[in-house]
Amino acid sequence: VGGSRVTLGRLIGLGGGAKVFRGSLPDWKNRAVAVKEMQHSPLSTGVREQREFDREVAILSEVKHPNIVAYFGACNHEPLRIVMEYCEGGSLFDLLHNSDVDLGWGQKWLMARGVAHGMANLHTQ
């Protein structure tokens, strides 16, 4: 998935070193995707950011598990972007901290178990 083949939509997340946009892939019938766009400080050469990007892409491209978002591709030129599965409803953190959503302990336990399975899979690959 090349960066030019991704249409960016609205900003859905912001964190240390990256912005996440909802996007679409016109070549894939406008499939909804999450696009992580790496940011770097104007004072930085970008070398460290490139290494972190390469590491994340290497890991995501190898991992296939139902409890880990699917990796679709990356754009290896500025801006550095990683294209992943879009998960409706936002992040797990946002869901757990949303006072409008009433999750029972059983649902929370199933989510925790899913996270544990995904993490265990990451550590064995």
C-alpha to C-alpha distance for 110 and 37, rounded to whole angstroms = 31
Query: Given the DSSP bridges, would you call strands 31-38 and 81-85 parallel, antiparallel or unpaired?
Result: antiparallel
pLDDT exceeds 70 at position 3: no
Residue type, 108: K
Residue type, 23: G
Domain that includes residue 62, residue range: 3-124
**Where residue 33 falls among pLDDT bands split at 50, 70, 90?**
very high
**Predicted local distance difference test score (pLDDT) of residue 57:** 93
pLDDT exceeds 60 at position 2: no
Window from 25-29, 73-77, 116-120 with minimum mean pLDDT: 25-29
Query: Which positions make up the binding site?
Result: 36
Cα atoms in the 13 Å half-sphere on the side-chain side of 49? 19
Rg (CA), the chain: 16
Q: What's the structural domain count of the chain?
A: 1
Over range 9-34, report the average pLDDT.
89
Q: How far is CA 73 from the centre of its chain?
A: 11
Query: Which positions make up the binding site for ATP?
Result: 36
**Predicted local distance difference test score (pLDDT) of residue 70:** 92
Q: Give the predicted TM-score (pTM) of the model.
A: 0.81
Q: Any alpha helices (H) in 12-99, and if so which ranges?
A: 47-62, 92-96
pLDDT tens digits, one per residue of 38-56:
987 666 777 888 888 999 9
| Residues 35 and 81: beta-carbon distance below 8 Å | yes
- What CATH number should be reported for the domain holding residue 39? 3.30.200.20
How many H-runs (helices) and E-runs (strands) does the chain carry? 3, 5
C-alpha to C-alpha distance for 57 and 71, rounded to whole angstroms = 8
